[in-house]
A = this chain, B = another copy of it.
Amino acid sequence: MSSITIGILGATGYTGVELAKLIKKHSHASIAFVSSQTYAGKKFSDVFPELMNICDLTLISPEEALRQSVDCVFSCLPHATSAALCLPFIEKGIRIIDLSADFRIKGASIYSQWYKTEHPCPQLLAKAVFGLPEHYRSAIKDAQILANPGCYSSSIMLPLIPLFKKFGAKITTVIADSKSGVSGAGRSLKLGSMFVEANENFSAYSIGRSHRHLAEIDQELSLASGKNIEITFSPHLVPMNRGILSTIYIVGAVSAEQCLECVLKAYKNEPFIRVREPNDLPNVRCVAHTNYCDMTFTGGNGQPIIGVCAIDNLLKGASGQALQNMNIMFGFDEQEGLV
């Protein structure tokens, strides 16, 4: 099987480093360039000493990146910047996998409303494929622009999309109470991400209807159900490096058993979804450092149904899912480099 070359834009965040490690283990892909505005000119392994002997490439500037020829570009840049820097690659016909939110939202005005900025290339939104392999696999195969889903979103959409497809009309209220490790906040310096602030602490933030991932969650659940869906979403910060656990409350005329049966059927051939028994609740430890998404359903009987879903925010919630998408796009074994 032939091999491909890839580049990583904005490589010096946590998702970029994770991607570099994954590609290193991949039998058919190699890194041609890594770029960084801040660290251009330094070796990747000098910025991240853990990469010594794993990826010792010199980081190049975004401008220099534009002159590189590769089969696939991953963007680990922040939103708005990401689409703008991906654009020239797209115009050259290079396939891009964007880990930012820029190509996730179908409507430019909804994007602007949530992200408080104009979309840099709204004309391309229709061309982008939402990169949830379990639900868009055939479109992903041919995608040129792949919008990799958000971490919280993945942990909420994966258990809910099959339910909304099947029972959409019967579900009246959804509350997602999500808990994330601190790497979800990225590597930029913020007081709330300092060790002493986050350690021995547990806190809620952006609760209700304010977190940006709601844009894509509402969109995908509405598409699944065929009607307009708005959920309540409460993110929380957990003193751990990685992982997300979402506890999801569903009010409606459906039972926990029906929910469980529904996802068992929907995901029975999926290599990265593990549906568990209700007495074997998913937890972060079981999925950390893997691309698995674990889920189950319990509760009900006059009370809300409770879904529990766990992923590694940096893998199934970001770089792992991105690689899974790359494998599909380029015809590799979907699990290559991920198990």
| Complex Cα gap A204–B59 (Å) | 27
A88 lies within 8 A of chain B by Cβ: no
**Chain B residue nearest to A182 in the complex (CB):** B195
Which residues from B are CB-within-8-Å of A25? 339
Q: Which residues from 296 to 339 on chain A have a C-beta closer than 8 Å to any C-beta of chain B? A: 298-299, 301-304, 306, 308, 339
A240-273: contact bitstring with B at CB < 8 Å (1 yes, 0 no)?
A: 1111010101010000000000000000000000
- Chain B residue contacts of A294, Cβ below 8 A: 52
Residues of A170-222 whose CB lies within 8 A of B:
173, 175, 177, 179, 181-183, 187, 189-191, 193-205, 207-209
Task: Say which residue of B191, B205, B281, B304 sits within 8 Å of A203 (CB atoms).
Answer: B281
With A232-B303, A306-B232, A306-B234 in contact, is A204–B239 under 8 Å at CB?
A: no
Bound state CA distance, A288 and B236, in angstroms?
17
Pick from A193, A236, A304 the residue with the most CB of B within 10 Å: A236
Pick from B175, B194, B249, B308: contact of A195, CB under 8 Å: B194
**Which single residue of chain B is at the shortest CB-CB distance from A245?**
B202
CA distance A102 to B177 in the complex (A): 32
Instruction: List 27 A–B pairs whose Cβ atoms lie within 8 Å, in order of A's numbering.
Output: A49-B283, A50-B286, A52-B286, A54-B339, A175-B175, A175-B304, A182-B199, A187-B196, A189-B194, A193-B194, A193-B196, A195-B239, A196-B241, A201-B240, A201-B283, A201-B284, A201-B285, A204-B308, A207-B247, A207-B281, A207-B298, A208-B298, A230-B303, A236-B247, A239-B239, A249-B249, A289-B289
Task: Using A193-B196, A234-B306 as known contacts, list a sample of 18 further A-B pairs with CB atoms less than 8 Å apart, ordered by residue number in A.
Answer: A49-B276, A50-B285, A52-B294, A177-B234, A179-B236, A193-B194, A195-B239, A195-B241, A202-B240, A202-B283, A203-B285, A204-B281, A208-B298, A232-B304, A236-B247, A238-B238, A249-B249, A251-B251
Q: Which A residues are closer than 8 A to B by beta carbons?
A: 14, 24-25, 49-50, 52-54, 173, 175, 177, 179, 181-183, 187, 189-191, 193-205, 207-209, 230, 232, 234, 236, 238-243, 245, 247, 249, 251, 274, 276, 280-281, 283-290, 292, 294, 298-299, 301-304, 306, 308, 339
